[in-house]
Chain A
Amino acid sequence: MASLPFGFQLINLFAAVLLLLAFAMLAQRRVVTLIDLFAAQGFTLACSTAVVAYTTSQPHLYESTALTLLLKVFLLPWLLHRLVRRLDVRWEFEGLINIPTTMLIGIVLVVFSFNLALPISQLASTVTRSTLGIAMASVMLSFLMMITRSKALPQVIGFLSMENGLFFAATSATYGMPMVVELGIALDVLVGMLILGVFFFQIREQFDSLDLKHFEKLKDTGHE
């Protein structure tokens, strides 16, 4: 196989880092570290978008790089850190499934995602098509993280990192969505985060904890 130009190698490297970070998030128990990992994921995403923008000369991708950098590296992690400080939840203990098992399920999911992405990436004309499998894998891994965590904050970080994966998928399959849509998505993510901030305080006020194990009361037969 002929060696790829340096730019594309860099994109592949960033994609690999993204996947590693997704696994790291899956294994991480400390909330503060989890937020830092999320910021690192955002930063990698921004870097790879910038490289794609440079190598393929797609000027609108610079704008989305700036948007990613601002929103996912600075604003959201800052908001999350603030929440952690104000809510005073530093530690997270056991997930619902232990970590080695989660990692094994994660590997199966990665294989599955690569198979799912294969037919699409063959159709893609972008230089970044080989990273589509990684994008799907990070979506799946974030999804797994949401399922296996019982606390509110890690679930939300999983949700946000799923959005990162989707964004990466959009960049690698089509060089990003139209700007108006990207702005709309960014607005939704930001508003969602703010609403969640309010929501956390409400949950804490009622339950004295952010552990969702208290949430077992709503069943089909009502809760008399």
Chain B
Amino acid sequence: MIEIVLVLALPLFGAAVLALIGHRAYAPAVNVAVSLGTFLAACALTLGVIEGGPLLVLGRQFLIDPFNVFLVVLTAFVGFTTAVFSRPYMRIEEQHGRLTAARLRLFHSMFQLFSFTMLLALTTNNVGILWVAMEAATLTTVLLVSLYRTPASLEAAWKYFILCGVGIAQALFGTILLYFAAEKLLGAGGGALLWTELNAVRADLEPTVLSLAFVFLLVGYGTKVGLVPLHNWLPDAHAEGPTPISAVLSGLLLNVALYAVVRCKVLVDGALPGAFAKNLMIAFGLLSVVVAAFLLSRQKDVKRLFAYSSIEHMGIITFAFGMGGPIANFAGLLHMTVHSLTKSAIFFAVGHAAQKTGTQLMDDIRGLITTSPVVGWGLALGTLAILGMPPFGVFASEFLILTTAMREQPWATPFLLTALGVAFAAVFSKVQPMVFGDTTAARLPVRPAMMPVFVHLSLVLMLGLWIPPFLADWYRVAARLIG
């Protein structure tokens, strides 16, 4: 109970403090400290859930169950490592003259506020508040995407704001329809939007309204997940924003948006006899995987490359949840975890590489292994992990998804396999020369702070070899819940 208050209050408090003190020499340290505090509170919350089971607290407004508890910890953890990474990274950006003190203040304050909105979206039991938090997550990151104030970054931020704003307005309409269906059974008032209440009566919800609601919700939140054809904002926002923001957008925001979709899917599955929600998610997921995989080879900017790879992976996860069943859902949840860890690690490495070479164009980044071995190895290993090489965790989850697809949706398997193959060829052939190519650049004097990258990658490696029993339990329970 107190932990959940802390998890939410700390980032909110941190945002206020960082906005008030302005950019001081110790502001990045405060940022790290607040994120660490949030992470510790999330760990305490986890321990509480391991011992005492799911929580439904504060007038049933907050819910912690196996489906969101690991996402809360993951969000707090990646938020913390990103804060650690951004400390040296943003200092160098400041030295290069790309950022001023006022913008760093904005960055730190908004970063904490962004963590708050995501944690609120994950922990709330109210579907309406979930919407409010998702919209707030967009708003807090708009000014961060345009932090460099270059024409390209302003364009990216505008696109991000308008597309996600329109998308999220669709989700609001979906939420209204959901409330409309629920109000008849649960009566007007706050109770009719509580997810636990809705879930209890889901079999009696009006099917026509729910199917229409799900279309709006999927399109709305799907825009934020970056599902094709609603993905246009995603590569721009990732490429033009500062690297710590690319890392949290890819690693966290997409996950949270997908979480919102899946929460809604559970309700719709209960109300509709057929496989309506399933089929929609399978279609959107598969389309995203295939389109993103083929667009990968056209990319020249390294951050855009990995942004498209995020779309591809979100497609895989959506596809997995679309198939449903204990194994596919388990794999989907595992994939959410490992993708988040791996992709943020890659963005950290890419950020350092781009900072050192002064460009994000892949043709101009060469021979990282000689100029900066740690960054080179980080990028190479991260890329291998994200491409699904064993023994990393991504291999395990993709393998499970593929085998389930062969059994349940055999027609989709060739598309998936082709897309994965194409993605492998495109990404590997682009990253290989960046890491091992010839270079005339001198060895760099400063040692980059690569701790977060290797911590993330070791976690992904661990999840590929051994999943802690309590985590596997949560995955299993959550997989049953999702259906």
Q: Which A residues contact B (CB, under 8 angstroms)?
A: 119-120, 123-125, 139, 143, 146, 152, 155, 159, 162-163, 166, 169-170, 173-175, 177-181, 184-185, 187-188, 191-192, 195-196, 198-199, 202-203, 205-207, 212, 214-215, 217-218, 220-224
- Flag if B152 contacts A220 (CB, 8 Å): no
Contact A166 B172 (CB under 8 A): yes
Residue B3 CB within 8 A of the other chain: no
A195 touches B176 (CB 8 A): no
The answer to the question of B154 belonging to the interface, with a C-beta cut-off of 8 Å to chain A, is yes
CB of A222 within 8 A of CB of B158, answer no
CB distance from A62 to the nearest CB of B (A): 15
The reply to whether B132 and A181 contact each other, CB–CB distance below 8 Å, is yes
A221–B142 CB distance below 8 A: no
Are B128 and A120 in contact, CB atoms less than 8 angstroms apart? no
Q: Are B129 and A184 interface neighbours, CB within 8 A?
A: yes
Known: A178-B190, A181-B193. A222 touches B128 (CB 8 A): no
CA distance A57 to B465 in the complex (A): 62
User: B87 contacts the other chain (Cβ, under 8 Å)?
Assistant: no
Say how far B141's CB is from chain A's closest CB, in angstroms: 10
Are B152 and A177 in touch, CB under 8 angstroms? no
**Is B109 part of the binding interface, using a Cβ–Cβ cutoff of 8 Å?**
no
Give the total of B residues in contact with A, Cβ under 8 Å. 55
Q: Out of A166, A195, A218, which one reaches B152, CB within 8 Å?
A: A218
Given the interface pairs A185-B172, A217-B151, the reply to whether A174 lies near B183 with Cβ below 8 Å is yes
Is residue B199 contacting chain A, with contact meaning CB distance below 8 A?
no
Smallest CB–CB gap between B277 and chain A, Å?
Answer: 18
Q: Are B212 and A120 touching (Cβ within 8 A)?
A: yes
**B150 contact set on A, CB distance < 8 A:** 206
- Could you list 28 examples of A-B contacts with CB < 8 Å? A120-B180, A146-B166, A173-B176, A174-B176, A174-B183, A175-B188, A177-B179, A178-B128, A178-B179, A178-B192, A180-B128, A181-B126, A184-B132, A185-B135, A188-B135, A192-B139, A195-B142, A195-B143, A196-B161, A203-B154, A203-B158, A206-B149, A218-B155, A220-B299, A221-B298, A221-B300, A222-B239, A222-B301
Bound Cα distance A187, B129 (Å): 12
| B189 part of interface (Cβ distance < 8 Å) | yes
Contact B165 A159 (CB under 8 A): yes
- The answer to whether the Cβ of B169 comes within 8 Å of any Cβ in the partner chain is yes
Residues of A within 8 A of B175 (CB): 177
Nearest-neighbour CB distance to chain A for B350, whole angstroms, equals 15
Q: Which of A123, A188, A203 has the most CB of B within 10 A?
A: A188
* Smallest Cβ-Cβ distance to A182: which chain B residue: B128
Closest to B173 in A: A166
B177 at the interface (CB under 8 A from A): yes
Q: Is B251 an interface residue (CB 8 A)?
A: no
CA distance A127 to B179 in the complex (A): 17
**B356 touches A (CB below 8 Å):** no
For B143, list chain A residues within 8 Å (CB). 195, 198-199
Do B126 and A212 touch across chains, with their CB atoms under 8 A apart?
Answer: no
Residues of A within 8 A of B467 (CB): none
Q: A181-B132, A224-B361 are known contacts; what are 16 more A-B pairs with Cβ within 8 Å? A: A120-B177, A123-B208, A123-B209, A169-B173, A177-B176, A178-B192, A185-B135, A188-B135, A199-B154, A202-B149, A207-B151, A221-B298, A221-B299, A222-B239, A222-B300, A222-B304
Judge if B136 is at the interface, Cβ distance under 8 Å: yes
5 A-B pairs with the lowest CB-CB distances in the bound complex, closest first? A181-B128, A184-B132, A222-B300, A178-B190, A215-B155
